[in-house]
Amino acid sequence: MTEHFTAIAFVASDTDEAQQARTRLCELYGDADPTEAEVVVALGGDGLMLQTLHRFMGTGKPIYGMNRGSVGFLMNEFREKGLRRRLLAAQRSVVHPLAMTAVDRDGRRVEARAINEVSLLRRSYQAAKLRLSVDGQVRLTELVADGVLLATPAGSTAYNLSANGPILPLDAPLLALTPLSPFRPRRWRGALLPDHARVTIAVLEAEKRPVSAVADHTQIENVVSVAIAIDRTVDLVMLHDPGHSLEERILREQFGY
């Protein structure tokens, strides 16, 4: 890693606020080609941060977000001045995405990556019926619910939390398997799995009870089976200001602030 960050690339969401911020920062710091930049600064909300991480997935290029959107859990505070100094002082958080392989009713296989979670969601008025297996062993023969999701620690404060799933410390070697509005089994509220586990979900009565699979921004309709596991070959690097690291933010969420 260079000591001066002479080559910074800026990306921004489509909002006027984000675009104006990008124009001003480019005037102050220049705008390197993203393929040659030492760091990418993302201007927007958490949605843009996820898009930027996906865009540069596999490059190892660090992403530093500044909030110019409505939700900024993954973002740093926006300030124009002192950007290079902030980049040099920033703390690194490295996360690995989930790799999803989905098969639809026509036998088509689709692979996608998810930084936050992979979700299976019912697509009709009837609840989904799902069979859950972990490392090849069936653990739940039939889950009747609106769906189910598997979340990483980085994604545990997002959709997983809104579904009453547990918040996971960023360095916890765990994944959260969380049902969405479960009907049966009555008392099943999810499971914590080791992060080396491979989760397979089979859709029962797939034609009568259609289900879609969603990996961050990728959605596949009419799936019959989905396999999910951590992809440790990919490092995603986020930069955060000291005292506002992703680890610290997740810890704060556990205490409600």
Catalytic residue among 46, 104, 135, 231: 46
**Residue whose tokens read 């070959």:** 233
d(CA 71, CA 44): 9
State the distance between the two ends of the chain, measured CA to CA, in whole angstroms.
33
Beta bridge partners of 134: 137, 199
Q: For residues 216 and 115, is the Cβ–Cβ distance under 8 A?
A: yes
- Closest by CA position to 154, among listed 175, 137, 128, 134: 175
**Residue 46 appears among annotated catalytic residues:** yes
d(CA 18, CA 14): 7
d(CA 110, CA 225): 11
C-alpha 96, offset from chain centre: 9
d(CA 159, CA 166): 11
Residue 46 has which token pair? 């958490």
Helix (H, G, I), strand (E, B) or coil at 138: strand
Residues carrying an active site annotation: 46
